[in-house]
Homo-oligomer: A and B are copies of this chain.
Amino acid sequence: MDMDSAEGADPAPTWRIGQLAAATGVSVRSLRHYDRIGLLVPSGRNPAGHRRYTDTDVRRLHQLVALRGFGLSLRQVGQLLDGTGLDPRELLAQQLARVEQDIAAAQRLRGTLLRVLGALDTAAQPQPTQLVELIGRMTAVQRPLTPEQLAELIEQRERMAAQLSPEDLAEMSRRRARLRESLSPQDLAELHRQRAELLPPGWGQPVGG
Contacts and interface: CB of A to CB of B under 8 A. Distances in A.
**Contact residues of A: prevailing secondary structure:** helix
Nearest to A107: B103
B92 A117 contact: yes
Contacts of A179: 89-90, 93
A2 interface: no
A93 B89 CA distance: 38
A156 to B, nearest CB: 14
A102 B103 CA distance: 8
Given A70-B109, A109-B71, A117 B136 contact: no
Nearest to A136: B63
A113 B96 contact: yes
Interface residues of A, number: 53
B113 A66 contact: no
A59 B129 CA distance: 13
Contacts of A183: 93, 96
Contact of A63 (B87, B96, B132): B132
Interface stretch (A46-54, A78-86, A143-151): A78-86
Interface pairs A-B: 10 shortest CB-CB? A66-B139, A63-B136, A83-B128, A88-B131, A96-B113, A103-B106, A83-B129, A99-B110, A66-B136, A93-B182
Interface of A: 59, 62-63, 66-67, 69-71, 80-81, 83, 86-90, 92-93, 95-97, 99-100, 102-103, 106-107, 109-110, 112-114, 116-117, 120-121, 127-129, 131-133, 135-136, 138-140, 175, 179, 182-184, 187
